[in-house]
Structure 1
Amino acid sequence: MNYIKNQNLASIFFLMFISQYGYADDISEQALPTVTVKQKRLTRSDNLLKGRKTSDRVIKGEQFRSRGSTIGEALNQELGIHANSFGAGASAPIIRGQEGKRIRVLHNHAETGDMSNMSPDHAVMVDSILAKQIEVLRGTPTLLYSSGNSAGVVNVIDNKIPTKLPEKGYEGEVGARVSSANLEKLTAGGITFGLGKNFAVHAEGMYQKADNYRVPYFSYGGQTHKRVPDTWAKSRNGSLGFSWLGERGYLGAAYSERQDRYGLPAHTHKYDNYSIDILWESRRIMKRYLRYYPFLADESDIDFENPGLSLNHTHIPGESHADEAHDHTHGRAWIDLKSKRYDLRGELKQPFKGFDLLRTSISYTDYRHDEKDGKTTENFFKNKGYNARLEFVHKPIGNWQGMFGVQHNTQKSSAFSPASQVAPKGAQQLLHDNRSTQTALFGIEQYQGDKHGFEVGFRAEKQKITIDYDIDLIKENNSFNFPLPNLNPHKEKAYSFAASYNWYFAPKHQLSITASHLERIPNSQELYAHGKHIATNSFEVGNKDLTKERSNNFEIGVKYSGSKWDYNVNAYYNRFSNYIYLLTMNDGRGPKSLDEEFPLQVNRYYQAGARFYGLEAAVGYRFNPKYKLTIFGDYVNGKLVNIPKTGAEYDWWDEVVTKWREHPDRPTPRLPPLRLGMRLDMNFNDKWQASLDFHRMFSQNKTSYLEQPTKGHNMLNADLSYQNKYKGLDYKIYGKADNLLNAKVYRHATFLPYIPQTGRNFTAGVNIRF
């Protein structure tokens, strides 16, 4: 059946208007406290929950006990959010077509300290299974934590540091579940003890083991599979925290440790002995230091006429690069990840005159993961960093209340290949040792009246990225006294502003409008990366001349919550200048250009304009206290515009461009397709609940350069749960059936759109609270 293949935008918007904001909105309306118009004071999480905009989402932690264990899969059921999954071990959220560096995932309002923004096969260091709640926030509140996140911020709240004494002296939760498609076994639990009147201790942990997941049969690498190779995953983590709690606040600390091991599907060794070759031969002679620091190349050093890959092996004349003689013995590809984290947090009420609350948080993360080839380490990634925040909540001034603060981050990161057979000594490194420091000043003010609410916020950031160069080495490898490159640290400032307006124009009705100007400074990867990145099927080249990214953003939403009907509709538009993207350089007809046998891309970071717009909408109808039907949908469109010209033909003698290549506007990569569906919630009584969910993920034919269209699919899911009490224990037994139609599911929004997702899967589990 052909589903809306050429439907125009107006008809899509009409269909979207009759849909509901979907999964999380039901949760936020039914499971969370009612939004209050007046509030006594601005507190950290309450600040973000009360008076929130129509597009903000708050999901209670208990909803994630039966969902995927990665943050991307856990949020994939929320409208406007898709998962950029890479096998079973790594999955990050895509929100409104934005991913990676434009989506900030926080751990208790602080940086995660991982390297997930660098590649889709890097896991995000947050635990949705153990979360107390997860907030998806947009607009003004995002400026409390970062700049340039036009699509929003994901904030994962947990109980690692106790903030109150348990009422009975102790409280906790344990759970376990098993799944059929990947033979998953997962156990998790946490407990908090009160020690006297002022101390509390919390301990928690999780263990997960899953095999390669089952799919409807598919062909890959000349073989037919019913399980996707290298999609297994193992994870274990634990945390121990304690707090001193008094009448005026608390001070607590926690230590967390995590280890993940998971396979990397679709890994290839075809390019193990290749390196990037994009420079003029004469520049390689004059600037021999580019062998050690290739990211120091200027635009005039790049050979746009014939960029590509060069083979490091010495081959017999006429021998194919793909010859079996050079296919060294390899094992399976997998990641071995370890992370240690230390947290210190505290609050003090009435710290001094004019202020209601003082908050502080300090965290240190020691992160490393190795990309393994069997037992051999191909690459290792390291990141060590501090994050510190100090916040002041001032006393209300009339109907105005707010907070301001300062934040400082320091990170030392790198991505290297050790000397080995698969990564010869002297091979190009993906990211040299670098140190990034960032200092920010932020603030937010809220006005709340009976029918009107205003919110304004700002954030000013200053960033400095330093690389320790070997100056003597550079001078020794600089011929003919060629002018030395700029070796100073990369410094830049960013200023972001946002304003929101909420109008409660009728009982149970709300209109929200948000406008913002956001700026994002390029990170070390975008500036200095230079090496092989098999996860993205590319060699990646940084650009030290990048400048900050700017966006002007607008969003409008309307919401109604009645006893029978409810609806929630949100539309948005994002206009970027200096949008940082990857341009494929080796797509010409030169000897080093990509072809069907060697399709690996050489991508360099450049900047252009970009436009994103979309709609998320929902309508729900409650037939009676037992049954509610929700129709929902989301749509996003993104396009790169005004892409700069690149050189096409050159004067070889003078090395100047004689002909320029135009780049037409094109869709942004990995654009999520249209999604429409319906959900029936059934609350038979206070013990039995069930739901049935069906949605259509449409085909995606709006493809970016070198992308292929992705077929759509139908998804049918169901769940049933029973909850009760037994001798002081609250327990819940549940069963889930995902992909009941056993559809072959391909996700266009991932870097592996040709690898199917999990087939029919049954999950059974139990959670106990005490």
Structure 2
Amino acid sequence: MPPSLSRPRWRLAPLGLALCAGAPSLADAAPTELAPQVITANPLGDASPAAPSSVLSGDELTLRQKGSLGETLNGTPGVSSTWFGPGASRPVIRGMDGDRIRILRNGVGALDASSLSYDHAVPEDPNVVERIEVVRGPAALLYGGNAIGGVVNSFDNRIPSEPVDGIHGQGELRYGGSDTTRSAAGALEAGDGTFALHLDAGSREFNDLRIPGYAHSSRQRQTDGDDSRHRVNNSDGRQDSGAIGGSYHWDHGYAGLSYSGYDSNYGSPAEDDVRLKMQQDRYAFASEVRDLDGPFSSVKLDAAYTEYQHKEIEDGETGTTFKNDGYEARIEARHKPIGPLDGVVGAQIANSRFSALGEEAFVPHTETDSAALFFLENWQATERLALNLGGRAEHTRIEPNAKDNERFAENDGSRSFTAGSLSTGAVYKLTSIWSLAGTLAYTERAPTFYELYANGAHAATGTYEVGDADASKEKAVSTDLALRFDNGRHKGSVGVFYSRFSNYIGLLASGRYRDEEGAVVDAGDDEALPEYLYSGVKADFYGVEAQDRIHLLDSPYGRFDLELSGDYTRAKNKDTGEALPRIAPLRLNSALLWELQQWQARVDVEYAADQNRVPENELRTDGYTTLGASVGYRFDLGDSRWLAFVKGENLTNQTVRYASSILRDSVPAGGRGIQAGVKVAF
């Protein structure tokens, strides 16, 4: 079955430093670990939810940590990456990206502009994150209609949710990789059992990405003649983050506040002379009251206010400034059992004020307000059968303001949408080893401001984007079915999924070309940009996902385990019969893990097939096979626990182009990279 979504509730950012699963992490040696709590897939605490889910924490997260959220999660079953170089990458789940993937921080929306454009980074440093949960498919609809493709929820414990006694801390240093990363991160928590304080900080610098051969693919070079090799120009950058938080605890709950800041400056590999300077300030509040009298046993409140901006700087001058300020608040109340039903009800409100200032702005100023009600109910129907039912109703109002910009004046009217979603799931235990899990959902999503009102040249992607101000809601019926097994030595699952969209809002090529002023021109014109339209079409997404872990043997030479996983997604525009763009191909992963006393090691092999199913206007992508390895040694110094490790990626130096990246023909992934690091926990 998928890994449990349980979360150790006291912990700092990940201190799991073992380099193979099954070895105890450094954090596991720390005191006062409490009972796990499920959050994202099922806030009622079911450790085996019907929804297909994955968790990265401890040892696994330590190994997978990269400079961006998308690259950290890339390769997780069903998850690929939008890869825009080492500075920006967002998760793609089952072929869906952008506003169909809800990115949360401690259960509250991470307000930024990353869904607007592939060159916009998610302002989060994975090195200071404690845990990342991924829910594939629409089963996490409690978090919004734009979770139609899935949810990525990260936890950082900046507001400690459990009492802290004494002082605990951690630190990490890393150096190397194909972009010569230099990073440092650390966290400290202190408390007296009533008051708890959290501090963390992280910093990362990286150079231009090293690649095995040509930056542009052979098919692309036939068109543009670019013959740059061995490095991706203008792909260097830096990221800095820091936070302070605290909470007050009493016998039946807690309340706390936090502030976090994020600052980065990185190059756009799509444009040699463009830099992106990003800044985000986030203020958060969290509280939970438990053991209540009356109809509800507990109430949980989470809220955050965010100020975000980034500047696109060309030749030292700011061309466009994007700003997105707003708030989101969510209250969740767990009711006492009503007959066989155990459940939660809740409400959520959000507001965001987006603006784009400058000559290259391709979307207008927009204010978006939303309010929602939701519920989730569990029913243990029999000893073997568990059922759940969830629903959400959400009203969204989008108000554009042309600000005297003639390009946006034509579509200056507001739009309102009321979207409803419903999801049901079941887990049936066939035997003590085998179980079946399934979900069925109907989901609606209101179009975003850029899907409605975009009108202009998008320099980062080299296109001219046009929204549809008359767009209607996106609607889908989705289902999952998985067979899970766990006999103690052998644990895994294999599942299939299918989503049918009656109205899928895709960014699709029209076949026409425009110049930067919007005039239609010939394809051979020096200023020609391909026109892409946000269009509603009928679409199907379907595929298969599998994962397996096998304990091979225990011997005098160590413990050996084998991990296997794979996924395959197909997506089709039913109006034209063509494949939808940027869909990852068949991917297969295997890893051999070894542990002996203080030593741990693993060897990974990843295979991706050719992607030949592409729209007529796109180039196919070649497949690849890569080899990775890591080794680590654990030791103690006084009361501190240490790990020194070395890991290598793409050791055979293969050219890797992600089919899910819009820059796949001009910006490959990194070549051979060796990274060394050390972690400490006390």
TM, length-normalised to structure 1: 0.79
The runs of 5 or more residues in structure 1 that have no matched partner are: 1-19, 34-38, 269-331, 418-422, 478-483, 643-663
Counterpart mapping for 1:507-586 below 5 A:
507-586=432-511
What letter corresponds to residue 388 of structure 1 in structure 2?
A
Q: CA deviation at 1:58?
A: 1.6
Question: Does the 8 Å contact 1:141/1:444 carry over to 2?
Answer: no
Question: Structure 1 486/593 Cα, relative in aligned 2: closer, same or farther at 3 Å?
Answer: closer
Question: Structure 1 577/528 Cα, relative in aligned 2: closer, same or farther at 3 Å?
Answer: same
Is residue 676 of structure 1 aligned with residue 672 of structure 2? no
Query: Out of 630, 641, 648, which is 1:730 matched to?
Result: 641
Counterpart mapping for 1:378-417 below 5 A:
378-417=319-358
Query: Out of 599, 613, 622, which is 2:542 matched to?
Result: 613
Distance in 1 (alpha carbons) for counterparts of 2:392 and 2:439 = 16
Question: Does the 8 Å contact 1:62/1:132 carry over to 2?
Answer: no
Show the counterpart of 2:172: 175
Question: Structure 1 117/464 Cα, relative in aligned 2: closer, same or farther at 3 Å?
Answer: same
Query: Out of 309, 333, 358, which is 2:299 matched to?
Result: 358
Distance in 2 (alpha carbons) for counterparts of 1:700 and 1:740 = 23
Question: Structure 1 529/29 Cα, relative in aligned 2: closer, same or farther at 3 Å?
Answer: farther
Question: Does the 8 Å contact 2:138/2:150 carry over to 1?
Answer: no
Is residue 742 of structure 1 aligned with residue 653 of structure 2? yes
Question: Structure 1 23/454 Cα, relative in aligned 2: closer, same or farther at 3 Å?
Answer: closer
Q: CA deviation at 1:767?
A: 1.3
Distance in 1 (alpha carbons) for counterparts of 2:24 and 2:93 = 23
Question: Does the 8 Å contact 1:357/1:393 carry over to 2?
Answer: yes
Q: CA deviation at 1:144?
A: 1.8
Question: Does the 8 Å contact 2:51/2:136 carry over to 1?
Answer: no
Query: Out of 91, 96, 99, which is 1:98 matched to?
Result: 96
Question: Structure 1 219/337 Cα, relative in aligned 2: closer, same or farther at 3 Å?
Answer: closer
Question: Does the 8 Å contact 2:290/2:299 carry over to 1?
Answer: yes
What letter corresponds to residue 183 of structure 1 in structure 2?
T
Question: Does the 8 Å contact 1:42/1:401 carry over to 2?
Answer: no
Question: Does the 8 Å contact 1:23/1:79 carry over to 2?
Answer: no
Percent identity between the aligned chains?
Answer: 29
SS of residue matched to 2:651: coil
Distance in 2 (alpha carbons) for counterparts of 1:41 and 1:214 = 42
Query: Out of 107, 117, 121, which is 2:105 matched to?
Result: 107
SS of residue matched to 1:117: coil
Distance in 1 (alpha carbons) for counterparts of 2:434 and 2:139 = 22
Distance in 2 (alpha carbons) for counterparts of 1:456 and 1:31 = 36
SS of residue matched to 1:72: helix
Is residue 432 of structure 1 aligned with residue 364 of structure 2? yes
Query: Out of 49, 55, 58, which is 1:52 matched to?
Result: 49
TM, length-normalised to structure 2: 0.89
Question: Structure 1 68/24 Cα, relative in aligned 2: closer, same or farther at 3 Å?
Answer: farther
Distance in 1 (alpha carbons) for counterparts of 2:294 and 2:3 = 45
Q: Deviations over 1:192-239 (max 9, x none)?
A: 111x44211110010000000111121556443211111112000100
Number of matched residues?
641
Q: CA deviation at 1:447?
A: 1.7
Q: CA deviation at 1:166?
A: 2.2
The runs of 5 or more residues in structure 2 that have no matched partner are: 7-18, 29-34, 217-224
Distance in 2 (alpha carbons) for counterparts of 1:348 and 1:667 = 49
Is residue 147 of structure 1 aligned with residue 145 of structure 2? yes
Distance in 2 (alpha carbons) for counterparts of 1:90 and 1:210 = 12
Question: Does the 8 Å contact 1:61/1:130 carry over to 2?
Answer: no
Is residue 341 of structure 1 aligned with residue 282 of structure 2? yes
SS of residue matched to 2:283: strand
Distance in 1 (alpha carbons) for counterparts of 2:563 and 2:87 = 32
Is residue 505 of structure 1 aligned with residue 505 of structure 2? no
Q: Deviations over 1:684-739 (max 9, x none)?
A: 23x22111111211111111131001111111011112223332112222110100
Show the counterpart of 1:12: none
Show the counterpart of 2:188: 191
Query: Out of 69, 72, 84, which is 2:70 matched to?
Result: 72
Q: CA deviation at 1:432?
A: 1.4
Question: Does the 8 Å contact 2:215/2:230 carry over to 1?
Answer: no
Query: Out of 120, 123, 130, which is 1:122 matched to?
Result: 120
What letter corresponds to residue 722 of structure 1 in structure 2?
Y
SS of residue matched to 2:646: strand
What letter corresponds to residue 88 of structure 1 in structure 2?
P
Query: Out of 394, 398, 414, which is 1:465 matched to?
Result: 398
Question: Structure 1 485/175 Cα, relative in aligned 2: closer, same or farther at 3 Å?
Answer: closer
Is residue 715 of structure 1 aligned with residue 626 of structure 2? yes
Q: CA deviation at 1:537?
A: 2.0
What letter corresponds to residue 661 of structure 2 in structure 1?
T
What letter corresponds to residue 733 of structure 1 in structure 2?
A
- Greater strand share, 1 or 2? 2
Question: Structure 1 139/102 Cα, relative in aligned 2: closer, same or farther at 3 Å?
Answer: closer
Counterpart mapping for 1:237-256 below 5 A:
237-256=241-260
CA RMSD of aligned residues (A): 2.8
Question: Does the 8 Å contact 2:261/2:280 carry over to 1?
Answer: yes
Question: Does the 8 Å contact 1:535/1:751 carry over to 2?
Answer: no
Query: Out of 207, 213, 218, which is 1:217 matched to?
Result: 213
Show the counterpart of 2:571: 638
Counterpart mapping for 1:305-316 below 5 A:
none
Show the counterpart of 2:157: 159
Distance in 2 (alpha carbons) for counterparts of 1:407 and 1:158 = 21
Is residue 229 of structure 1 aligned with residue 233 of structure 2? yes
What letter corresponds to residue 237 of structure 2 in structure 1?
A
Is residue 601 of structure 1 aligned with residue 545 of structure 2? no
Question: Structure 1 197/585 Cα, relative in aligned 2: closer, same or farther at 3 Å?
Answer: closer
Question: Does the 8 Å contact 2:21/2:59 carry over to 1?
Answer: no
Question: Structure 1 348/525 Cα, relative in aligned 2: closer, same or farther at 3 Å?
Answer: same
What letter corresponds to residue 363 of structure 2 in structure 1?
L
- Name whichever of 453-462 and 583-592 sits farther off: 583-592
What letter corresponds to residue 190 of structure 2 in structure 1?
F
Distance in 2 (alpha carbons) for counterparts of 1:249 and 1:101 = 34
Question: Structure 1 467/355 Cα, relative in aligned 2: closer, same or farther at 3 Å?
Answer: same
Query: Out of 444, 458, 473, which is 2:376 matched to?
Result: 444
Q: CA deviation at 1:94?
A: 0.9
Show the counterpart of 2:676: 764
Distance in 1 (alpha carbons) for counterparts of 2:540 and 2:21 = 30
Q: Deviations over 1:516-539 (max 9, x none)?
A: 000000011111111111222211
What letter corresponds to residue 409 of structure 1 in structure 2?
A
SS of residue matched to 2:126: coil
Distance in 1 (alpha carbons) for counterparts of 2:491 and 2:421 = 34
